[in-house]
Amino acid sequence: MKNILSYYYNLHPEEISYKDNKYTFNYLDNKYVFEPVYRPLNDIYSLYEINRKMISKNILVHEIILNNEKNIITYVKEVPYILLEVFINPKACIKLSDICYINNGTIDFNCNKTLERFNWVKLWEIKNDFFESQVGEIGKKYPNLCNFINYYIGLAENAISYVRNVFKLDEIAIKCICHKRIKKEDSLYDLYHPLNFVCDFRIRDTSEYIKSVFFSGEDSFNLVEEFFANNYISYKEALLFYGRLLYPSCFFDLYDDIINKNLDENIIEKIIIKAEKYEEFLCNVHLFLSKIYGRYIPQLDWLIKKRF
């Protein structure tokens, strides 16, 4: 690896640490990470342009370093790698304010269409169709998953219907640089990593982070209050925020991990056992939004009928 770094980047570190498929090293008091690229290569050039814009605005994202051939990608045994210079403590845990810092600092950035994730309805419908097609196949191997998948597919259908109606509103919904997924256990390394970026509505990251915090067993309602107290969120954004909370991404993400990584299906219990509590959380968020906006906040009929 030292030869590769020397040849392609004129970097000559004395020591290189290897963990989780990443090569980490310091050179001339600068911190670097050399790691494989898992995003489609068509995304990489667009992400590089976004990276340059964010750096020009002094946002502390990791900087993508071109190799000596002025290429973003360096191939090592036919595997694409990228070199990043890191400016923050990569192990520090993220906070809501860190997320908002990136989102609010990149409002209305122009993005290539390959990075856009605005069409939630279409994306979620495709995902639901996929899950429904899998139920018969995986039922024998993962009976516990199949016992609950229909509830979460139904909740996703609710979210799709909710968001479809919100999109019809002729009001402001700010777009910015977001992340493919934000999780409670993520570090600042994950947050500032340019290969995690997508373009979407500003509330995407916060809603996903809050869901992850909830299912980790920590208080998430205080984060809802913090977010709306410290950011000007339009009415339409508030509804999109709520629609995104409705969508059960935490269940689906864990479902995918179980299937694709052959994990024990019983780990899904940490989501399932909190289902009723999450319904109560959704009702509390609905009440909160109704109070601060003083306008009608649509709610699911079946949630209204529940008494918590």
217 in Cβ contact with 278 (< 8 Å): no
- H or E segment and range at residue 64: strand 63-65
User: According to the model, what pLDDT value does residue 308 have?
Assistant: 62
Q: Which two tokens stand for residue 21?
A: 């498929």
Q: How far is CA 233 from CA 82, 102, 108, 116, in A?
A: 36, 16, 15, 21
pLDDT value for 186: 95
Smallest Cα–Cα separation from 231: which of 196, 193, 201, 263? 201
Indicate whether 307 pLDDT > 70: no
Average pLDDT score over the chain: 95
Strands 79-86 and 30-36: antiparallel
**Using one digit for the tens of pLDDT, what is the confidence trace for 47-91?**
999 999 999 999 989 999 999 999 999 999 999 999 999 999 988
Packing angle, helices 249-261 and 143-167, rounded to 10: 140
Per-residue confidence (pLDDT) for residue 57, from 0 to 100: 94
pLDDT at 216: 95
Could you report the per-residue pLDDT of 276-305, keeping only the tens digit for each? 999 999 999 999 999 999 999 999 988 888
| pLDDT score recorded for residue 53 | 96
Q: What is the pLDDT of residues 159-191, one digit of tens each?
A: 999 999 999 999 999 999 999 999 999 999 999
Residue among 51, 103, 113 at smallest CA distance from 82: 51
Predicted structure pTM score: 0.95
